[in-house]
Amino acid sequence: MRRAIFAAAIAVVAAGAVQAQPPSSGQPAAAPAGDADRGKTLFTRNGCYQCHNYEGQGGAAGPRIAPNPLPFRGFAAYVRAPRGDMPPYTVKVMAEQDLADVYAYLRTRARPRDVSTNPLLSR
């Protein structure tokens, strides 16, 4: 019995770990058109930067979410109802178009340079 509970706990932790993985690259399906400049303002004004950093590159309190955020539906669903330490953003705080603009901002951030371009790591 105790073993079953333990196994269930592991399964829950493992499921959480999978969801926390950085999203894979690729075009998100049907992301609505967004204004990246406006998204930048919203990203700052709504405090996303405090945890995810100004470029969405990740910070002390939140993971990297740019330049390859989750597909838009998953992204929007997560921001509305996060499962971890992130506060939820309701439609009153951020309208659907606001999310689309922030999404456009994140998608247009620079890609990190490939690690092979780092001379200290390429010996």
State the residues that interact with ligand HEC by CB under 6 A.
19-20, 22-23, 46-48, 50-52, 61-63, 65, 69-70, 75, 78-79, 82-87, 89, 94, 102
Between 34 and 69, whose beta carbon lies closer to ligand HEC? 69
Distance CA 69, CA 77 (A): 12
CB of 120 to ligand HEC, least distance (A): 28
Between 10 and 61, whose beta carbon lies closer to ligand HEC? 61
CB of 3 to ligand HEC, least distance (A): 29
CB of 1 to ligand HEC, least distance (A): 31
Alpha helices (H) along the chain? 2-19, 36-45, 48-52, 72-80, 96-107
Per-position b or e across 45-71, b if 16+ CB within 10 A of its CB: ebebbebbbebbbeeeebebbbbbbbb
CB of 114 to ligand HEC, least distance (A): 21
Between 8 and 84, whose beta carbon lies closer to ligand HEC? 84
From 96, 17, 31, 38, select the one nearest 69 (Cα to Cα): 31
Distance CA 83, CA 86 (A): 7
Between 14 and 19, whose beta carbon lies closer to ligand HEC? 19
- The residue with its CB nearest to ligand HEC is 84
